[in-house]
Amino acid sequence: MSNAVEASSAKEEKQMTHENLKKTLVEGLGRDAIEGSIISHETIVRALLEVIKPKRVLEIGTRHGVSSSLFAQYADHVITVDVEKCPESYKEWARKVWDFLGLSDRITPFYAPGVNWKGYNGSKAEFIKKQDFDFAFIDGSHRAKDVEFDFDLVKKSGCVLFHDYKPIGPKYADCKNSRYPEIVQVINHLKPAPYVYGEHRSQYALWISKDSPRRKDPSVMEFLENKAEKVTLMSRLAHDFHFRRHTSGSEAEDE
Ligand SMILES: C[S@@+](CC[C@H](N)C(=O)[O-])C[C@H]1O[C@@H](n2cnc3c(N)ncnc32)[C@H](O)[C@@H]1O
């Protein structure tokens, strides 16, 4: 095969996987592979990645390695962080998913030693501080103090995507989940105000630093103008009001 033909078939193969990651995994490995993943919102996330064009991604919250696989189709490399004490099945699935998709050499997992779902975060912080990346995805713990901690670790990238932006209030009455209001609370108070986009029951928030070159990129700004809304003072106040009433000022319950 000539180099040109090889390159074009490699491109086609990559393109095919691009369009069908969820289907590819469900057909190849079964539905369990995608459990707990954002992959049902594949189209929404892809649309953003197309314009953001990340080169090195840092993800918090690996689970079965599905979202990291999605990022690895756009970026040169993905570093994905989870906690050492997550179930062994998560680690096994992640390995299986990356091998199956041929992405193992583009994804580096880090299972932070001593870190569990509640509490100590130290080894995770030490590891992340040493990494370079231009885009981060936060999809780990749903507790406010962990989300704040994770954001502080990754904001140096200048571009951070959060999953699970589900405010409380009448407009979102059908999005019941006691874990999410805390994430919204943290995101709503970030500066500059993040952009919120996605579907009603599954919204993403994108924070871009004030001095990020992405703010000068017309395709990024056009995407955000057409598809996203900025967190406004009104939306923040509405959420704050309901948050205080629903949680009596204390932390919402975690799983
Ligand atoms: C919703 S799942 C991630 C799903 C994955 N991003 C996807 O879409 O394919 C959340 C993951 O975060 C991990 N996690 C929970 N608390 C964490 C923490 N404090 N630091 C890092 N990871 C955490 C859990 O072990 C779990 O694997």
Q: What is the pLDDT of residues 176-189, one digit of tens each?
A: 665 578 888 899 99
The residue type at 253? E
Distance 61 CA to ligand 1 centre (A): 3
pLDDT in tens, 28-85: 999 999 999 999 999 999 999 999 999 999 999 999 999 999 999 999 999 999 999 9
Q: Which two tokens stand for residue 71?
A: 């990022």
Is 16 part of a structural domain of the chain?
A: no
80 found inside a domain: yes
**Confidence class of residue 249 from pLDDT cuts 50, 70 and 90?**
very low
Band (pLDDT 50/70/90 cuts) for residue 172 is: confident
Cα maximum dimension of the chain: 67
Number of domains into which the chain is organized: 1
Is 82 close to ligand 1, i.e. is its CB under 6 Å away?
yes
Residue 11 within any structural domain of the chain: no
Q: Is the pLDDT of residue 10 over 60?
A: no
pLDDT at 206: 97
* Residue numbers of the domain that contains 136: 28-247
Mutate to test the pocket of ligand 1, among 45, 58, 141 (most ligand atoms within 8 A of CB): 141
| Short-list 109, 32, 31, CA closest to 69 | 109
Nearest Cα residue to atom 14 of ligand 1: 140
Ligand 1 centre and the CA of 38: distance in Å?
11
Task: State if residue 41 touches ligand 1 by the CB under 6 angstroms criterion.
Answer: no
Q: What is the pLDDT of residues 194-207, one digit of tens each?
A: 999 998 777 899 99
Between residues 12 and 21, the one the model is more confident about: 21
Buried b (16+ CB within 10 A) or exposed e, 88-117: eebbebbebbbebbebbebbebbbbeebee
The domain that contains 39 carries what CATH number? 3.40.50.150
User: Distances from the Cα of 166 to the Cαs of 173, 198, 200, 238, in angstroms?
Assistant: 10, 11, 8, 13
- Band of the pLDDT at 6, cuts 50, 70, 90? low
Q: Does 147 contact ligand 1 (Cβ within 6 A)? A: no
- Residue 11 scores a pLDDT above 60: no
CA distance 70 to 248: 39
State whether residue 231 is helix, strand or coil.
coil
Query: Does the residue 22 lie in any domain?
Result: no
pTM of this prediction?
0.89
Report the pLDDT averaged over residues 113-123. 76
Domain presence at residue 191? yes
3-class secondary-structure state, position 204: strand
Assess if residue 123 is contained within a domain: yes
